[in-house]
């Protein structure tokens, strides 16, 4: 039997404080590290461009060298900021709802009760299939919800099946839950 979130030792504290006492964390994941590839690629390309320009075209021009390297430092700081934000962002599946916590300085918690989920699917691009990430799409009965897409999610098939299993439990699971409640 699962423990309530208040007594469970699993899951980060950054997520546990948003859970109700009766909720149980079923799965907690970060976005796939591939979310950092675009900014990482930009920082690497900026380093290459700065290195080439420093050694050739602007060699000896200290003002232009400073501007180029400051530009690269901005790209590097952007990468570091995105990595720090990635480290504190979580997608959480509990026994009662789906949560997406994002942001370091300004914290945002988007959620959807499992009882409101009417349709769920996942999408995997070619890059997602190669690297192991996908996108979960959650829909509710004609309402705008705070949580409708979760991009760069690792293990999308497994998480999809996990949520579907919670939404549509088998008759054996329903009987077990009924006997536990008595």
pLDDT tens, position by position, 127-178:
999 999 999 998 887 667 778 889 999 999 999 999 999 988 876 555 555 5
Q: How many whole angstroms from its chain centre is CA 132?
A: 13
54: CB partners within 8 A, 6+ apart: 65, 68, 69
Given 46, 64, 84, the domain boundary residue is 84
Which strands make up the sheet holding 97-102, listed edge to edge? 25-29, 90-94, 97-102, 108-113
Q: Are residues 113 and 167 in the same domain?
A: yes
Q: Are residues 24 and 109 in the same domain?
A: yes
Instruction: Assess whether pLDDT exceeds 60 at residue 72.
Output: yes
Backbone angles phi, psi at 60, to 5 degrees: 100, -20
Confidence of residue 2 (pLDDT cuts 50, 70, 90): very low
> Looking at residue 143, which CATH number applies to its domain?
2.30.29.30
Determine the pLDDT at residue 117.
87
Instruction: Assess whether pLDDT exceeds 50 at residue 6.
Output: no
Question: Is there a domain that residue 113 lies in?
Answer: yes
Determine the pLDDT at residue 1.
40
Listed range (49-63, 87-101, 130-144) with the worst mean pLDDT: 130-144
Number of structural domains (the chain) is: 2
Q: Are residues 99 and 19 in the same domain?
A: yes
Instruction: Assess whether pLDDT exceeds 50 at residue 5.
Output: no
Please give the average per-residue pLDDT across 37-42, as a whole number.
97
Give the length of the chain: 182
Q: Are residues 120 and 157 in the same domain?
A: yes
Question: Is there a domain that residue 5 lies in?
Answer: no
* Average pLDDT over the chain, rounded to an integer: 86
Q: Model confidence over 82-93: pLDDT tens digits?
A: 999 999 999 999
Q: Are residues 78 and 155 in the same domain?
A: no
pTM over 0.85: no
Q: Give the structural domain span for 24.
A: 13-31+89-181
Given 84, 103, 121, the domain boundary residue is 84
């Amino acid at each position: 039997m699962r423990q309530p979130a208040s007594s469970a030792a699993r899951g980060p504290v950054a997520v546990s404080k948003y859970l109700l006492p009766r909720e149980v964390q079923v799965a907690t994941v970060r976005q796939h590290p591939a979310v950092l590839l675009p900014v990482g690629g930009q920082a690497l390309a900026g380093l290459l461009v700065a290195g080439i320009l420093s050694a050739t075209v602007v060699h000896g021009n200290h003002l232009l060298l400073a501007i180029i390297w400051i530009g690269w430092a901005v790209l590097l700081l952007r990468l570091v900021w995105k990595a720090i934000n990635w480290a504190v962002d979580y997608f959480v599946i509990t026994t009662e709802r789906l949560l997406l916590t994002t942001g370091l300085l300004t914290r945002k918690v988007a959620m959807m009760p499992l009882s409101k989920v009417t349709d769920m699917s996942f999408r995997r691009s070619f890059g997602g299939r190669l690297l192991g990430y996908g996108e979960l799409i959650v829909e509710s009965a004609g309402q705008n919800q705070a949580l409708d897409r979760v991009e760069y999610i690792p293990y999308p098939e497994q998480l999809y099946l996990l949520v579907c299993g919670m939404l549509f439990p088998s008759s054996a699971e329903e009987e077990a839950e009924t006997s536990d409640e008595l």
